[in-house]
Amino acid sequence: MKPLIQKLPVAGQNSFVARTYTTPHYETAWHQHKEVELIVQLKGSGMCFIGNYVGGFTEGDVFLLGSNLPHEFKKECKGARCSVMVVHFDPQLWGDDFLNLPENTEIKFLLKQSLGAVKLDAHHAGELGNTLIRMENARGFERFTLLCLCLLNISRSKHKQTLSTLDTANFATLADSKINRIFEYTIRHFPSQITLPEIAALVSMSVSAFCRFLSEIQKRLM
């Protein structure tokens, strides 16, 4: 399934988006965008699909998603009310000269690392979520420094997890492939249990052939 292309408008004199979304505006189908995305889950839980990663999320979790990395967050129950704080910023927001300053080495490294998505669970996020929330109402240089502070805190955390290993440059070549049919089927049928024979039949394969297929796909996306 091809991801939708999303573009959030930047308001006023701001150079990046910092906004809270609540049900029914919380839900966005499998999509991607050129902006790097910083997320704190304010309310609700469910499953997230990020590149080739599938896993749970809960209140307080923080995610950093790289440019053009396809993703979708699905709440646990259809009737549940969820809320999320989202920051979108262009990967070239600072420019190379700024990122190449010695003081910015940690942030520069983190932005490279986040191409595969980074997560800090609620237990280890600490005050990071509150700093993100402050960003929505901050103005001028304070807003910019809060973003830098968030990225610096993530870069220094010993508990951040690298999630997806998807090469976004190669993702477009898979847009009409079997793996995208699998993504689409999995997302549409969440949270129902899906068996291995069921998903193998979807792409007209035996279970053993399907397992070999997944192994090859994983090598291509690494």
52-73 tens-digit pLDDT: 788 899 999 999 998 888 888 8
Q: Residue 97 has what pLDDT?
A: 92
DSSP string, 157-221: -S--EE-----HHHHGGGTTSHHHHHHHHHHHHTTS---HHHHHHHTT--HHHHHHHHHHHHHHH
Q: Residue 144 has what pLDDT?
A: 92
SS3 84: strand
Last residue of a domain, one of 162, 194, 211: 162
94-107 tens-digit pLDDT: 888 999 999 999 99
pTM: 0.74
Q: Do 21 and 89 fall within a single domain?
A: yes
- Percent of all residues in the chain with a pLDDT value above 90, rounded to a whole number: 21
Please, which contacts does 144-148 make with residues 24 or more away whose CB atoms are closer than 8 Å?
Answer: 144/15, 147/16, 147/18, 147/38, 147/87, 147/89, 148/107
Q: Do 157 and 176 fall within a single domain?
A: no
Q: How many domains does the chain have?
A: 2
Last residue of a domain, one of 162, 184, 207: 162
Cα–Cα distance between 135 and 35 in angstroms, integer? 17
Mean pLDDT of 138-143: 91
Q: Do 125 and 58 fall within a single domain?
A: yes
Q: Is the pLDDT of residue 81 over 90?
A: no
Q: Do 157 and 173 fall within a single domain?
A: no
Q: Do 148 and 173 fall within a single domain?
A: no
Last residue of a domain, one of 122, 141, 162: 162
Q: Do 191 and 155 fall within a single domain?
A: no
Q: Do 92 and 188 fall within a single domain?
A: no
Q: How sure is the predictor about 208, in pLDDT bands with cuts at 50, 70 and 90?
A: confident
Q: Residue 212 has what pLDDT?
A: 78
Q: Do 102 and 191 fall within a single domain?
A: no
The per-residue pLDDT of the chain, averaged, comes to 81
Cα–Cα distance between 114 and 163 in angstroms, integer? 9
Q: Residue 175 has what pLDDT?
A: 43
Q: Do 10 and 59 fall within a single domain?
A: yes
CA 35 vs CA 75, 107, 133, 214: distances in Å: 23, 16, 19, 29
Neighbouring-strand partners of residue 86: 19, 39
Mean pLDDT of 120-145: 87
Q: Provide the domain limits for residue 63.
A: 4-162
